[in-house]
Amino acid sequence: MTATTTDNVGAPILVIGGGISGLSAAVEASEAGHEVYLVERNAYLGGRVVQLNKYFPKLCPPTCGVEIHLKRLRTTPRVHLLTQTEVVGVAGGPGKFEVELEKTPRGVNANCTNCGECVEACPKERPNDFNYGMDETKAIYLPYGAAFPARHAIDFDHCDRDSCGKCRDVCKVDAIDFGGKVETETITVSSLIVATGWKPYDANKLEELGYGKFKNVITNVEMERLAAVDGPTGGKILRPSDHQAPKVVAFVHCAGSRDELHLAHCSAVCCLASFKQANYVLQASEDATVRHFYIDRRAPGRLEDFLQELENNERATFVKGRVAKITEGADGAVILHAEDTLSGQKVEFTADLAVLAVGLDPEAKDAGFPSGWLTDEQGFMVGNSSSAAPGVFATGCAKRPAEVSACVKDATGAVLKAHQIARRG
């Protein structure tokens, strides 16, 4: 790809993060005539969104929205896509940033046709991070069915390279390359759009809630993968202990959220995500029931309809009270301890499966960005092109917890700010 600067729109724009926000920003900037570097840490684009089963409130598949973006990406000539790449250094200022990138080798070149024979041949396994470690893939793997770039990748932490070489032997198109090294590259850009997004809060830190201790306590992001057809269970929601479909599912809202000891902020989307997941359970089985334990139910604006619809379902019940503790009952059952504050009674509710609605932990917090790039106390980036970091625009969940549609709009706004800098030169 070569830069087309015929429109005189100045130096390229760097977008850090290829999730829904970064992807949106990249295609919007590109379509506006800018040359764009899109840097993504993973081997594929789409970030957290492609790990979701469905969007709320329409319950449509996320790949739909992502595919439109990918189509735009494929048809615009101005995006330099750099996967498995991280920003390791930033110098300069608005109009002329020198950004150092570090690219780790994929091990599979563009010849790859996704035939999958290498996977058959590979003797080694790795935990599948796309499914939050609930299953394994081979050391050579396709990140997920609709991955873009549509190409396999090798996890070199689990690969024996030349001493094994089985994938290379079966590959008919000569796509395997064990020799790749970590490479650094410095690019010059006019501005930066930071779309580093979030990761689920580490549920292992929620000691009282028994995650990691009791098999049938899972997180909301794991629930998305369990419900997804390309997930570890082929789309059947099965509880981890005995692979049976749970009849009673409890949703633990604000698991570690709005909690000084964990994430002090409200992650804004978990309420709706939990209501959405209740729909997964209710639709999967006629006799399944769900119970939500909440502090407040935050379904702003039109989204309240989605909540009301669930409230009207007699198989869904709600308890106002934070789950303070989870213990284990007989046969893998989990017992949730809370006070139902509306009746003033302590309750011990026995469920087959408990789903912790863990919050959004901003990646920007530990990204090692320059100290001038201000973050708030929770690690979300502050403001757009602040005086401390001119020419740096945060967008999407790097800035604050938000649902997909808001992120997409926000990314478009960030592009306009980047555009102004690029124009000024």
Contact 237, 284 (CB under 8 A): yes
Query: Hey, which residues does 336 pair with through a beta bridge?
Result: 326, 349
Among 260, 286, 287, 377, binds other proteins (CB under 8 A): 260
Nearer to other proteins, 206 or 404 (CB): 206
**Distance between terminal CA atoms of the chain?**
22
The residue type at 66: V
**Per CB under 8 A, 174 contacts other proteins:** no
**Per CB under 8 A, 229 contacts other proteins:** no
Least distance between other proteins and beta carbon 348 (Å):
9
**Per CB under 8 A, 365 contacts other proteins:** no
Stretch touching other proteins by CB under 8 A, among 4-12, 242-250, 334-342, 398-406: 334-342
Among 27, 122, 192, 254, binds other proteins (CB under 8 A): 254
Among 338, 364, 392, 411, binds other proteins (CB under 8 A): 338
How many Cβ atoms are within 10 Å of 119's Cβ, its own excluded? Answer: 17
How far is it, in rounded angstroms, from Cα 57 to Cα 59? 6
**Per CB under 8 A, 345 contacts other proteins:** yes
Contact 29, 59 (CB under 8 A): no
- Measured torsion, CA atoms of residues 203, 205, 208, 212, in degrees rounded to the nearest 10: 60
How far is it, in rounded angstroms, from Cα 148 to Cα 138? 19
SS3 281: helix
Nearer to other proteins, 58 or 325 (CB): 325
Among 102, 125, 177, 259, binds other proteins (CB under 8 A): 259
**Per CB under 8 A, 261 contacts other proteins:** yes
Of 167, 138, 168, give the one whose Cα is nearest residue 155. 138
**What DSSP character marks residue 214?**
B
Q: Contacts with other proteins in 91-130 (CB under 8 A)?
A: none
Nearer to other proteins, 239 or 253 (CB): 253
Which positions lie near other proteins, rule CB under 8 A? Answer: 208, 254, 258-262, 295-296, 321-322, 324-325, 337-339, 341, 344-346
